[in-house]
Structure 1
């Protein structure tokens, strides 16, 4: 069995550690922060609690597999509660929609009730195409390590399959082929942001994102999703894994194969295998700056970094009638949002805070996250440009964060959610804060975006150019989001088992 060092105690690193520990490897996890979880965090203050990362679990089979392969089943450890409705949407023009959590048929029915029978039929047809894309891409693109051009070659042997996946088509382009209602196309566009991407450039294959959400359900963990990371850490420790916090890694040692890591304290931790759960750009730029990572750095420069997010944690007095767990408030001009975030179109080269953004609210009706039944804890997120002082937007500019928070509260009020008179306090987290806390470049939530047909092949591979060094997490293959991060840990565990 190998000595394994896992760099980073985010969900990818912890999942890999638990799986490898269960196989008998000697595993040590090194986390630079004072707590585990990475982007899957928790903030508690004055009786309020906030998930500071994901607030929704889809494709729970990924984590059921992890727990089954490492011990007791997931449902013996955590409660998974279905969310119904999965989300409440408010569109420009006044349409509102509750998306039910009872399968694809229920989603089509909701569209038919909101916009007429044609809309229901359109969504059914779209979901059928998304199902076909899922069936074709799940194993070669999501559950296996990418094998460069050979992965595409396998698909290309069947022209009908290529036409189904349509690698030349954007997600928005696919939506236009199936969806006649502008509200439905806007609804679909939002799923590109699940990978930090622009729907005008993200591939049609991202139709699998709404497919997964609707086919396998939307789930919440009472008490907060942060508990998923804590439960995986407990499972890892039960297999002898050592988890060290406040232990930032300075360098991956390789000559030419992996020999271990050196901490910022100067301590050296020897290893036969290193699994990096930190952002790939940070790994290859800072932890492996020599010639071994030159090719990976070159590939990363070709990729489009993902968007970031501007977050407000709101402690509110009183209760909101009819409030759902998730609410999305769409703007009048969705394209303008992506232009501001990515610095494209009229904003070319000038990314800036979105003046009229989509607002995402997560407000669980969860007694564990509020001091009493007369209060609410809201997580509010808007898409935002990365923190790039000197070349782009500097989120540390004096007064910017506070003035933008005031702007977002006003936008929420204009769309029917005015909480300004109920606000006890708020905490603001900018892309600069995310970069500092997680060492993600510019606060990019997902590392590389999925912008462009070749984006999957520009995303860093799970096996690095350095023998014995592997990558897990949202910035490596197969991508960001809780399901894909969990799949990356499964892929890497299999690769190490075969190394």
Structure 2
């Protein structure tokens, strides 16, 4: 069996490490920071606990498979996992409000008809049905198989899999998500609902392919899940699984480059000049030289006095009053002086608050990357955080009077912790767009070097990171002929 060096202790890297160790390889993970998990971090203060990365888990089957394949304890035996219901509540500037039940197509239709108007639910449902066709057509080649080098197969993924609308007005598939909304939803609130799923992943609905409709489809079909104590618990459980499989971790080990010998990867070189030999190298580090700066996340952690009211939604999306100003601020050259779409997360979990007389709330918004906006400028950061709190008042009346303290995380912080260019958070891979929404393949150009994590196939998102780990492990264990799990 081979010695394998893994660069980074993010979720995709640890997923690959655990699978490779089970296959009998000697695996060492080298992490420049002092802990595991990458962007799946934790911030704790005064008895309040917050996730610094993703807050909810989608497609839990990816991690169920990982835990089944790497040990005796299942995912549910390793972490507390519960479905969030309602999946989300939505508030709009015109006063429209609705809550969407978790994994209930009929319930979603009913909620939209009641809040938006008769027929709104059916229009949304028809769009989701077409998104399912796109999912069925691309799920395996886009997510469960290594990215093919075959020109014909790559060309197929470069075409948008979202099907043309049937009936009297049948045309070719719309080029963008915004075009889908304009033609098929015909309501600004439904448009905001659709586009909020793309925006949460840093995708511009004006340029994202129509296949991005799979994002609400996945959430609506497979549900949203909460890990007890916060999603950092999943990273902790995966780290424990790696250690149990005898994966070694070296923290504070900054890898400066990959050692090349006879045309293949032969180890890693550290910042201090020392070298560790390896037969294979797996890198979860973003390539700062080639990875574009994706939009990032601006996060505000709020320690509140007063108990959490019964019956409030775990997740509430407060939609921006001006779609145009927000999109210009996130994706164009406009500055950050706009009111953003704010996601308010209020877990009903005693583990994240000091006592029943307090509440821990997280506010998140998708923003421009660090560099286009100077997220190290204290005045810019304070002003944007204030606008987020003002928006969140719609979901949490009297919020300002309840704040004990607040802590802010910006894309500048993300860049410092993870090394992601501009603190960007990569989106999942999508079909269409001429291939612009695909990621570099897991097998790198240098023999013996493999890419894993959000900046490699199949892209960003917690579930996709787990998929990339499975693909890399398969390629190393079974060789270049590996075509994914059957």
1:207 shift after superposition: 1.2
Residue 321 (structure 2) pairs with residue 341 (structure 1): no
Asked whether the 8 Å contact 1:201–1:452 carries over to 2, the reply is no
Residue 164 (structure 2) pairs with residue 184 (structure 1): no
Structure 2 counterparts to residues 274-285 of structure 1, below 5 A: 274-279=281-286, 281-282=287-288, 285=289
Aligned with residue 310 of structure 1, among 280, 292, 298: 298
Say what the alpha-carbon RMSD is for the aligned residues.
Answer: 2.4
- Residues 246-255 or 394-403, more deviating: 394-403
The match for 2:267 is: 260
1:320 shift after superposition: 4.6
1:354 shift after superposition: 4.5
Asked whether the 8 Å contact 2:318–2:394 carries over to 1, the reply is no
- 1: distance between equivalents of 2:350 and 2:242? 29
The match for 2:206 is: 200
The match for 2:67 is: 67
Aligned with residue 321 of structure 2, among 301, 315, 332: 332
Q: 1:251 to 1:364 in 2, by over 3 A?
A: same
- 2: distance between equivalents of 1:373 and 1:50? 16
Aligned with residue 368 of structure 1, among 321, 336, 351: 351
- 1: distance between equivalents of 2:172 and 2:104? 25
Q: 1:162 to 1:263 in 2, by over 3 A?
A: same
Aligned with residue 386 of structure 1, among 365, 369, 380: 369
Cα deviations by residue, 1:152-192 (Å, 9 ceiling, x for unpaired): 455799x9987589776211222233213221111000111
- 2: distance between equivalents of 1:199 and 1:140? 24
The match for 1:270 is: 277
- 1: distance between equivalents of 2:257 and 2:455? 19
Q: 1:194 to 1:460 in 2, by over 3 A?
A: farther
Q: 1:245 to 1:144 in 2, by over 3 A?
A: same
Task: Name the SS for the 2:175 alignment partner.
Answer: coil
Cα deviations by residue, 1:411-462 (Å, 9 ceiling, x for unpaired): 3336764422211111111111111111110100117997970355652221
Q: 1:5 to 1:328 in 2, by over 3 A?
A: same
Aligned with residue 169 of structure 1, among 175, 189, 194: 175
Residue 141 (structure 2) pairs with residue 135 (structure 1): no
Q: TM-score, normalised by structure 1?
A: 0.89
Task: Name the SS for the 1:454 alignment partner.
Answer: helix
Q: 1:354 to 1:209 in 2, by over 3 A?
A: farther
The match for 2:3 is: 3
Q: 1:162 to 1:210 in 2, by over 3 A?
A: closer
- 1: distance between equivalents of 2:134 and 2:89? 26
The match for 2:483 is: none
Task: Name the SS for the 1:244 alignment partner.
Answer: strand
Asked whether the 8 Å contact 2:204–2:327 carries over to 1, the reply is yes
Q: 1:199 to 1:457 in 2, by over 3 A?
A: closer
- Residues 183-192 or 322-331, more deviating: 322-331
- 1: distance between equivalents of 2:129 and 2:430? 22
- 1: distance between equivalents of 2:255 and 2:381? 30
Aligned with residue 465 of structure 1, among 445, 449, 463: 445
The match for 1:39 is: 39
Q: 1:443 to 1:313 in 2, by over 3 A?
A: same
Q: TM-score, normalised by structure 2?
A: 0.91
- 2: distance between equivalents of 1:420 and 1:40? 28
Question: Which runs of 5 or more structure 1 residues have no equivalent in the other structure?
Answer: 286-296, 344-349
Q: 1:167 to 1:227 in 2, by over 3 A?
A: farther
Q: 1:161 to 1:121 in 2, by over 3 A?
A: closer
1:410 shift after superposition: 2.6
- 2: distance between equivalents of 1:401 and 1:178? 38
The match for 1:492 is: 472
The match for 1:288 is: none
- 1: distance between equivalents of 2:161 and 2:177? 19
The match for 2:239 is: 233
Cα deviations by residue, 1:466-485 (Å, 9 ceiling, x for unpaired): 11111111111111111111
1:380 shift after superposition: 1.0
- Residues 244-253 or 429-438, more deviating: 244-253
The match for 1:346 is: none
Cα deviations by residue, 1:19-53 (Å, 9 ceiling, x for unpaired): 11111111011111111111111111110000111
- 2: distance between equivalents of 1:277 and 1:121? 42
